[in-house]
Structure 1
């Protein structure tokens, strides 16, 4: 009788939580140096950026009008349900890898690969899009002080005489070097930047409230509730960063206590700020005038005759976008590192520097690829791909919580998602609704990306996973089957 596992069993084979935890030791271990305050600032650093300084104008003008506040509420609620699921997983499996690692523990290898490949898309495109935005703000700032860069050095090929986006390359290179130097120093830099940009957001709120004209809120829902839902699918881009907190799990000193604090508190703070800013922005400026502006918050203060305030907002935008890139580059490198450590990607990228205790090779690869994307490609149409990738990750994590509660109810859970399976089901429902609200072309692009990923998995990942090559990276035991 042949006892060899079938193809289905191999694809759905999980790795036990105990076995996954055994990976974070020895040469593949990262240094535990992050505390709860730094985690909160990591979350805020990733969330407050292009969403509040750029996307608010597009979503208000083209989709939701003043109802943008409801769009942020819907997107924030979907994220909160997902955040509770992330918090349980992050405390139960406090390793780099985020949703990828959680899927491996609950749903099986094939789903872990799919979500890991999905996260590579999410983070890489996010970093590139944000770097292009940073380049635009920085180029405007340099022009104002008399330093004019030639179009060939600030635009991608084929766009207004562009050859390469040099500022985008330089900022990604600088942040990559910072991350390689050590996570503690990176966290300190991020904290300082976040304090500055939160001060700028509060400045806009304190100043803008005196210029609100209630007439601008009438009609409040010019595009109806369908516009509000479509707006929620667009502004969801503003929330993609909160899951980056979970990628820091392996470097957190007390993950059982600190990870839920970092994930949930940062999300709540940012949601409140988004709602307040959206209400003030659409109260200052008629929503129709926000069409086409890439800096809606600064534009609002210029509109009411406060140009000096607009300049302060522009500085805050540059700082905000910088911290977003820092956290996203950090998260992408840790996900890539985790997949390499499991053998699904080349194991050379799982090497940790003996002194710095950072994944230098993974960080350099991520920096190089995202710099190439940001410098050569016009990525405006790609932002929606980030949304669908993030939403898909949230769905799979939520499903994983339900599955693992049934298959491993005895596992220690320092933080327990409340009302399971209701809360995960609500997260799944909200995220699927937002996925359906995205354009069909986005769905098609996402399917193509996943198909490419499955080909790579069949040619490489399936053959090099740990249980087919035991002992290759500190993993000497067989993995658990998910029957």
Structure 2
């Protein structure tokens, strides 16, 4: 059987993760966050960075211990139990499988604002077809495309921030440096946590690179380093950009919160900048969708290879392209749900799966290093018990802070997974199937 090929360096993996995050997502979701936090977007990102930092540490530990594809699915399965590992994989599947849908929906929303005469479904279909074809050809092409698109995104972000600063400078009543976007007298913690739960959607990407383990050179060292770099770089970008955008547009009233940055871009830069901004938003969503589809297909491949999902369909790699073609195509088909959902709903219920998986990965560090390997001592106490506990509790707090619809959809998805696991294991009497896969360099 064909195997995944090691072609990715540290720089390529970090690029993949940042592209997955999409730096411009801070603009894409600004209106949604501003509305949910009552104008405290930077505070929401700062609150989200704390659990993401500790969770990134845990992902790094587990990636070093188990350098195989599968991310949370593989880590929980090997550290705790195969059954719980399946549920972790099922939960994160909600994230990886449906994330491209949300990404392309955001991109289509902005294109719809710029070209109202073109039906939004046309843009969604165009995103799906193009990214699917590129991912089938392989990661080398995908990373080449991502590098170019990342450059365009960063230029747009820098220009947006510079224009925000110029716009703020024209208003003598608004200081350039203030703590108001982070702390104010009328701020409400439940609103901040609710916003942080949505803001964590922007961080999805640091964990996704763990699915690229079997295609990375020296993964034991490279993947943990990449995970931390991606989380910290992304968090810094989100906090800084949202701070200046919040000062430039303190109001929480928008014509359309799904594409609020389009309105802000026109206010701070006029029609010419709007055109430049739209290019950045579109390529940003395209790059993110490209990475998200690639990552989701690798998780499906790992579960198919283990026999948890159909091995004949999911567990095979194309002899010609060296990519899991069937899984890539399925991700594209699932993304067609974007034709029926809005941005807020799609991002919220996706985060349910991510938070559940994040919690289990944090717990896996405790089981593997502290309980199993008995790594004891002050340093080990902090790294393998205290930090993972903080990450797990914080992720659970964010999960219960999601809106009611997200919780209903998430719990329903988990219930379906439990029923499928019961069928797969003959009423939980045996372990889920696992392929004896030996890692090769």
TM-score greater than 0.5 by the shorter chain: yes
Judging changes above 3 Å, is the alpha-carbon distance between structure 1 residues 368 and 282 closer, same or farther for their aligned structure 2 residues?
same
User: What is residue 383 of structure 1 aligned with on the other side?
Assistant: 347
Judging changes above 3 Å, is the alpha-carbon distance between structure 1 residues 468 and 404 closer, same or farther for their aligned structure 2 residues?
closer
* Partner residue of 1:52 out of 26, 46, 57: 26
Residues 356-400 of structure 1 show CA distances to partners (whole Å, capped at 9, x for unaligned) of 221112222222222x31235556423211112111111000000
* Residue 355 of structure 1, CA deviation: 3.2
Judging changes above 3 Å, is the alpha-carbon distance between structure 1 residues 461 and 339 closer, same or farther for their aligned structure 2 residues?
farther
User: What is residue 282 of structure 1 aligned with on the other side?
Assistant: 246
Matches within 5 A, 1:42-441: 42-48=16-22, 51-65=25-39, 67-142=40-115, 148-149=117-118, 151=119, 154=120, 165-212=121-168, 213=171, 215=174, 221=184, 222-290=186-254, 292-304=256-268, 306-348=270-312, 349-370=314-335, 372-378=336-342, 380-409=344-373, 419-441=383-405
* Residue 48 of structure 1, CA deviation: 2.3
In 1, Cα distance between equivalents of 2:260 and 2:130: 28
* Partner residue of 1:37 out of 11, 23, 36: 11
Bigger Cα displacement from structure 2, 219-228 vs 68-77: 219-228
Bigger Cα displacement from structure 2, 211-220 vs 376-385: 211-220
Judging changes above 3 Å, is the alpha-carbon distance between structure 1 residues 207 and 166 closer, same or farther for their aligned structure 2 residues?
closer
Judging changes above 3 Å, is the alpha-carbon distance between structure 1 residues 459 and 133 closer, same or farther for their aligned structure 2 residues?
same
In 1, Cα distance between equivalents of 2:430 and 2:321: 26
* Residue 243 of structure 1, CA deviation: 1.1
* Residue 56 of structure 1, CA deviation: 1.6
In 2, Cα distance between equivalents of 1:386 and 1:465: 30
Judging changes above 3 Å, is the alpha-carbon distance between structure 1 residues 35 and 466 closer, same or farther for their aligned structure 2 residues?
farther
In 2, Cα distance between equivalents of 1:232 and 1:469: 37
Q: Secondary structure at the match of 1:253?
A: coil
Judging changes above 3 Å, is the alpha-carbon distance between structure 1 residues 175 and 301 closer, same or farther for their aligned structure 2 residues?
closer
* Residue 206 of structure 1, CA deviation: 2.2
8 Å CA contact retained: 1:341, 1:350: yes
Q: Secondary structure at the match of 2:256?
A: coil
In 2, Cα distance between equivalents of 1:468 and 1:48: 35
* Residue 251 of structure 1, CA deviation: 0.4
In 2, Cα distance between equivalents of 1:463 and 1:333: 28
Judging changes above 3 Å, is the alpha-carbon distance between structure 1 residues 418 and 191 closer, same or farther for their aligned structure 2 residues?
farther
- Report the number of matched residues: 425
8 Å CA contact retained: 1:343, 1:465: no
In 2, Cα distance between equivalents of 1:179 and 1:405: 36
In 2, Cα distance between equivalents of 1:107 and 1:132: 36
User: What is residue 4 of structure 1 aligned with on the other side?
Assistant: none
Larger Rg, first or second structure (1 or 2): 1
In 2, Cα distance between equivalents of 1:42 and 1:289: 34
In 1, Cα distance between equivalents of 2:65 and 2:348: 31
Residues 153-201 of structure 1 show CA distances to partners (whole Å, capped at 9, x for unaligned) of x3xxxxxxxxxx2321231122111111111111121122112101211
In 2, Cα distance between equivalents of 1:283 and 1:172: 35
8 Å CA contact retained: 2:421, 2:428: no
Could you tell me the TM-score, scaled by structure 2's length?
0.88
